Amino acid sequence: MKILVTGYPYIKESYIKTFEKYPKPEDLVFLLPRLWKAKGGKVEYRPPKNNYLKIRKTTTLFYHSNYPLIGGTLKGWMPFLPFHLALAKTKDVKMLYSALEPVLLSTLWNGIWAKIFGLKHVVFSWENIPFDEKFKGPKGFVLKLILKLNIKFVDGVVCGNKKCKEIFLGLTDKPLDVIPIAGLDEFKFKPSNASGFIKKHKLENKIVFAFAGAIGYRKGVHVALKSFAEIKKNLPDTCFIIAGSGEYEKEIDELIGDLKIKKYVIRIPWLSHEELPELLASSDIFLYPSISNKGWAEQFGYSMAEASLCELPVIATKSGSIEDVVVDEITGILVEENNQAQLAEAMLRLAKDKELKKRFGEAGRNYVINHYSNSVIAQKFYEFFGSFKF
C-alpha cells in the first residue's frame, strides 16, 4: 500500500532515517517543507538527501506557535497539498499520514483534502495531558472544536506515548497505536572512545554528569544545578556538562554564579545531533529532571533514550511520559519532580556505585534497542498502516 507522509518533523534527518528500515520503503513518499525554521529562526532545516526514500518538497508556512490571534494552529500548513494529493492519487497512493497534532488547523486542512481525494487519513499526537484539563476558556473552546473536527476526518491516530493512547481511547473508537514519531539509531549512539572530547574539556579522571536539551524552566536544569552543588561537597572530582540553549539560559548562568560552581560546569550553547554521541560517550550519568509546567509534561525524551544507547544510567523525574523511556531501578532512577534532595541522593548513589551504574547503563541500551530502535519503530508503522482495510 502506497502512503504519502507529510509533516515538518520528518525534515530532521534523524527522524526520517527511521523509515529506511520500513519493510517496503518504496511504498512511501515524503512531502516535506522546502525550508523549516526552528529556535526563533536561528536554525534552518532543509529536506535531507536520502538514497532510500522518495522525498518531495513544498512550500510550508507558519514555523512557530506565537502568531497573533492564530497562535500555532496553522503551524506546518502546506497550501499546495491538494496538488500533491492529485499527483499522489495517480500513483495509487491510498493513505495520507500527517505527522501533525490534531488540534491544528493545518491538520484539519490535510484531513479535508484527504477525504476529497478518497484517501485514508492518519495523524500523530504526543499529547499526554487530557484535553479538558489542558484547554480552558475561549481559546480552549476553539482548540477543542478543532480537535473534534479533526477526529471526524481521521481514520486512525498514532500516539507517541502510552498516556496519549489512554486519552484518545476516551475520544474515539478509531484505530490507535503507541508509536513514537521516530526511532533511534543504535549504531550512531553507542559506547565509544571520546578521548578527543575528554581531553578538550579536561574530563580525565572525573565523574561527568550531563544534560542535553532545550534550556527552559520545564527541563529542570536549575534543580539539577542545586543538587550538583550539594553533592560536590562529597565528590570533588565531578563536573556537569550542560548542552543546549533556550529562553532560560540567563537564569541558569546566574544560578551557576550564585552557587559558586562555575569552574565545575561546562556550558555548551549549541551542539548538533552529529556531535551529541561524543558528549554522551564522554559522560558517566545523564540527568533529565523535567518538570510539568503550564499544561505541558514531558512527552517522550529522545535525549534520554540516546543516553541509554550510550550505556549511561539516566536520572529523571516521574513526569509526563518519561516512564515510557526510563525504567525505574532497571535503566535508571526516577525521582519526584522539583525535588532537589531526591535528585542529589540519586546522583550520589550512582556516582559512588560503579557496578550499579554499569548495570543500569547496559540494561538501558538493551531496553531502547528492543523498544525504540529504528527497525522496531519502522516495523510498528508498517503493521499499523497495514491494518487499515480499503
Residue 371, judged by CB atoms within 10 A of its CB (0-12, 13-18, 19+), counts as: middle
Q: Is the pLDDT confidence value at 306 over 90? A: yes
Overall average pLDDT of the 70-75 stretch: 96
- Grid cell locating 373: 530502535
Please list, in sequence order, all residues whose beta carbon lies within 8 angstroms of the beta carbon of residue 273, skipping any fewer than 6 positions away.
12, 13, 14
DSSP string across 96-145: EEE-S-TT-HHHHHHHHHHHHTT-EEEEEE---S-HHHH--HHHHHHHHH
pLDDT of residue 83: 98
Helices (H), 26-120: 81-90, 105-116
Q: Is the pLDDT confidence value at 40 over 90? A: no
pLDDT in tens, 327-336: 999 999 999 9
Overall average pLDDT of the 138-146 stretch: 96
Q: Report d(CA 36, CA 15) in Å as an integer.
A: 14
pLDDT in tens, 273-291: 888 999 999 999 999 999 9
Place of cell 544534560: 211
Mean pLDDT of the chain: 96
pLDDT of residue 48: 93
For helices 340-352 and 221-231, what crossing angle results, to 10°? 60
- Same fold? 2-183+373-386, 195-371: yes
Place of cell 514555523: 63
Closest to 143 measured CA to CA, from 217, 65, 38: 65
Overall average pLDDT of the 39-65 stretch: 93
**Alpha carbon separation from 350 to 8, 106, 287, 336, 358 (Å, rounded):** 39, 46, 11, 17, 9
- Grid cell locating 288: 533529565
Split at pLDDT 50, 70, 90, the class of 390 is confident
pLDDT of residue 272: 83
pLDDT of residue 98: 99
Overall average pLDDT of the 98-103 stretch: 98
SS3 178: strand
pLDDT in tens, 200-243: 888 999 999 999 999 999 999 999 999 999 999 989 899 999 99
User: Percentage of the chain with pLDDT > 90?
Assistant: 91
pLDDT of residue 81: 98
Q: What backbone phi and psi angles, to 5 degrees, belong to 98?
A: -100, 110
Q: Is the pLDDT confidence value at 194 over 90? A: no
Q: Is the pLDDT confidence value at 126 over 90? A: yes
Residue 141, judged by CB atoms within 10 A of its CB (0-12, 13-18, 19+), counts as: exposed
CATH topology classification for 2-183+373-386 = Rossmann fold (3.40.50)
Split at pLDDT 50, 70, 90, the class of 193 is confident
Q: Is the pLDDT confidence value at 354 over 90? A: yes
On the CB side of 329, CA atoms within 13 Å amount to 0
Q: What are the residue boundaries of the structural domains of the chain, listed by start?
A: 2-183+373-386, 195-371
Q: How many residues does the chain have?
A: 390
- Grid cell locating 79: 497550501
pTM: 0.95
Q: Report d(CA 24, CA 330) in Å as an integer.
A: 35
CATH topology classification for 195-371 = Rossmann fold (3.40.50)
Closest to 322 measured CA to CA, from 126, 184, 185: 126
